Amino acid sequence: MKKFKMFVDIEKEEQWLNEQLQKGYRCTNISGLGIYTFEKTDKRYVMRLDYQEYLSKEKLNEYKGIYEDFGWNYLKGTWLGGIQYWQKEDDGQTEIFSDRQSRNNYYKRLMGYSSSLAIVFLLFSYTIYKDSGLYLTEGLWSMKGSLFWKAFLFETPFALLRSFPALMVAFYTISYYEAYRKYSMLKEK
């Protein structure tokens, strides 16, 4: 079975993947385009996602070896950094973070990820909007009557597309705040 789904929140993606596991579908492949491949299984599995920054190939092998020693199967990831996908049979030990400090480090990495993407989309937004704004039809705001409405309605879908980077800035800022909040809560304990 294949499903198409896009995520920008790593924790929501992990939750969705585990819901599929509870329905009896084990993930076997994840493409970069958001296509998840599942197979039916009678065994109970659990899936965990981790975010890692750039890892040398040596560090990646060490990272993988640590988790594989605890029964985790490396499903997908890359040494360049990004989301690392781990899956194993549910044996009661379902957490990949062994202590509070490792979870704290995870939230720090997520904060870095969210803030860097927010900055990239902010710079991209600036380059898009600095000269023209969202609506590009010349003289749109001085048009009258039905001509205005026709031009406005025609241009609106394109304006919404141009607003995507600004929406991503808002999303990644919220994502940063959520990771920071969880990081702070763990730090206070």
Write down the domain spans for the chain. Answer: 2-89, 100-188
Measured CA distances, 116 to 70, 111, 169, 185 (Å): 32, 8, 10, 22
Q: Does residue 51 come out as left (phi exceeding 0), alpha (psi in the -120 to 50 range) or beta?
A: beta
pLDDT winner (highest mean) among 7-16, 27-36, 118-127: 118-127
- Tell me how far apart the alpha carbons of residues 116 and 173 are, in angstroms, rounded to a whole number: 10
The pLDDT tens digits of the residues spanning 143-182 come to 899 999 999 999 999 888 888 888 889 988 998 998 899 8
* pLDDT given at position 83: 86
Q: What Rg value do the Cα atoms of the chain yield, rounded? A: 22
* pLDDT given at position 189: 64
Residue among 10, 4, 2 nearest 77 (CA): 10
- Burial of 120: CB neighbours in 10 Å, binned 0-12, 13-18, 19+: middle
- Residue 10 contacts residue 51 (beta carbons within 8 Å): yes
* pLDDT given at position 102: 86
- Is pLDDT of 187 > 80? no
The pLDDT tens digits of the residues spanning 84-129 come to 899 998 887 888 887 888 888 889 988 998 898 899 999 988 888 7
* pLDDT given at position 125: 86
Task: State both tokens at 32.
Answer: 């970069």
- Is pLDDT of 132 > 80? no
Q: What residue has token string 């781990």?
A: 86
